[in-house]
Amino acid sequence: MKNILHIDSSVRHTNHSKESYNSISKSFGRIFIEEWMNKNHQNTVIYRDLGLNPPTFISEDWIAAAFTPKSERTLVQNLILSESDRYFNEVAKADIIVITAPMYNYGMPAVLKAWFDQVLRVNKTFTFDLSRGDFPIETVLSGKTLVLLTSSGEFGFGEGGVRENMNHLNSHIKELAKHLGVGHCYEIGSEYQEFADNRHISSVKQAKQDILTLVELLAQK
């Protein structure tokens, strides 16, 4: 039995009557989860729609609370960190983390960055020790798989693509995910959305097929 943490980050909905208004990345996540649960009825899914319920941005008081030893925190500091604690507990329980993310201005949506900022905490997801030299950070969690499902308006953001150096979405998420204990990452995405042509249609169709193939692969592990 596996625990799945499903994180959507698009600010768009999926119930518009006009299909082009709906979130593509969220539709990818729904396909993955539905197909997964069809094959794994006993699994548990925790779902968060960050676009509809944005995480709180961290503050100076949040930082002070996070760096205060747990035994010394005040009631107010514990309250400030309560949202972060909920997110962390969800990540800690997860075997597979499914993150769906549209590309906004060549990076991740602000709500997703806010979630990462809430989750990634010293002595929770990582430890910091200067005796380790120039690389003092060590990850606490391990053994998790990330499924990253993306959509973008332009194209060529993959390895060797004409816009590879402009892709600050996938690379940033994958780097941060290491500190969530992610050891394996699978990426599937569609492109060409702003062109609204046959290339986009083909890209979405291929992504959906790749998702079904990935579910089959992961279900066998």
Binding-site residue set for FMN: 10, 23-25
What is the residue whose two structure tokens read 């319920």? 53
Q: With H, G, I as helix, E, B as strand and everything else as coil, classify residue 94.
A: coil
56-90 core/surface letters (b: 16 or more CB in 10 A; e: else): eebeeebeebbeeeeeebeeebeebbebbeebbeb
Binding-site positions read 10, 23-25
d(CA 221, CA 189): 22
What is the residue whose two structure tokens read 């949506």? 109
Helices 198-219 + 24-39 axis angle, to 10: 30
E runs forming strands in the chain: 3-8, 44-49, 96-102, 126-128, 137-139, 144-151, 182-190
Residue pair 107/147 in contact by the 8 Å Cβ criterion: no
d(CA 198, CA 82): 47
